Amino acid sequence: MWFFKDKEKEDQVLSYINGVTTSKPGVSLVYSMPSRNLSLRLEGLQEKDSGPYTCSVNVQDKKGNPSGHSIKTLELNVLVPPAPPSCRLQGVPRVGANVTLSCQSPRSKPAVQYQWDRQLPSFQTFFAPVLDVIRGSLSLTNLSSSMAGVYVCKAHNEVGTAQCNVTLEVSTGPGAAVVAGAVVGTLVGLGLLAGLVLLYHRRGKALEEPANDIKEDAIAPRTLPWPKSSDTISKNGTLSSVTSARALRPPHGPPRPGALTPTPSLSSQALPSPRLPTTDGANPQPISPIPGGVSSSGLSRMGAVPVMVPAQSQAGSLV
């Protein structure tokens, strides 16, 4: 009898008792019975058929009584060839960039090893350190146009080989990151230019303000620049006419009895000059007459009345 023990239980797969053979599908004896060779044949093996197989032999005498017993166990390890691997390209294949070609088989027993070759345009085999035979990766650095071609990955173990391929096309244009950076830089530059134009426009408006605006805190002049030779002075129609200094001068010769001396307005008079200091024994200095030949004391004796003349600002308004 043959038994197979899996992880859960032990099953009988074949028996030969009293000349009758019983077995499960795909299980048979190599030699016809009776024979001393009890080899077992298994057809259509699967990975699940791996495990311990036990052969048990019971010998009987002519009377049918057990005369001997023998048992033997052997381990069956079913190997699995590599399943077709999958090839992938990781990275952006452009000039000067780095990419990685990866290859992976989903199932194999024992574990597979990998080999990368370039088939076209010229054959080339890769080795470590650019090739990782365990993980199946191939690292290509500093790409150039001559590195383009068809790359084939072979996954192999003791019982089989499987392969896949990938086509590498090296681009000479800028990468997506470079294009994105150029677009962002252009937008930032346009924004700065618009800001400068707006700032210049506002600054130009500030410079265009009128330079001759009247200031509210302007100080009026202390004296009025009246022309000496004018008979009547008018400032934007706001001041009355003033008697000319010539009219205040007396005619040649002594005045006639009963003649009236015109009284000048205060606007035509100048402030009296300050008196000079006198010294003992010296005659006092005479008071300088005002324009017109009449002193302020004389005007007072003649009955002249002081008149307050309003001052005038630069814009012609009264202060």
Cα 36 to chain centroid distance, Å, stands at 85
- Residue 30: the pLDDT is 94
pTM, rounded to two decimals: 0.48
32 close to 16: Cβ distance less than 8 angstroms: no
Per-residue pLDDT reduced to its tens digit, 278-296: 444 444 444 444 445 556 6
238 pLDDT band, cuts 50/70/90, is very low
Shortest CA distance to 107 belongs to which of 133, 85, 136? 85
What is the C-alpha radius of gyration for the chain, rounded to an integer number of angstroms?
65
In the prediction, which pLDDT does 233 show? 42
Long-range contacts of 84-91 (CB under 8 A, 24+ apart): 84/162, 84/163, 84/164, 85/114, 85/136, 85/153, 85/155, 85/162, 85/163, 85/164, 86/164, 87/151, 87/153, 87/164, 87/165, 87/166, 88/166, 89/166, 89/168
Rounded average pLDDT over 118-132: 93
Q: Would you kindly state where each structural domain of the chain is located, as residue ranges?
A: 2-76, 86-168
pLDDT digits (tens, 9 = 90+) for 53-99: 999 998 888 777 777 889 999 999 999 999 999 999 999 999 999 99
Q: What is the pLDDT of residue 60?
A: 81
Single out the residue of 182, 267, 174, 276 nearest to residue 223, CA to CA.
Answer: 267
Q: 86-168 architecture in CATH?
A: Sandwich (2.60)
pLDDT digits (tens, 9 = 90+) for 150-188: 999 999 999 999 999 999 999 986 654 555 566 667 877
Q: pLDDT value at position 174?
A: 61
- What is the structure's pLDDT at 232? 41
Q: What pLDDT, on the 0 to 100 scale, is given for residue 314?
A: 52
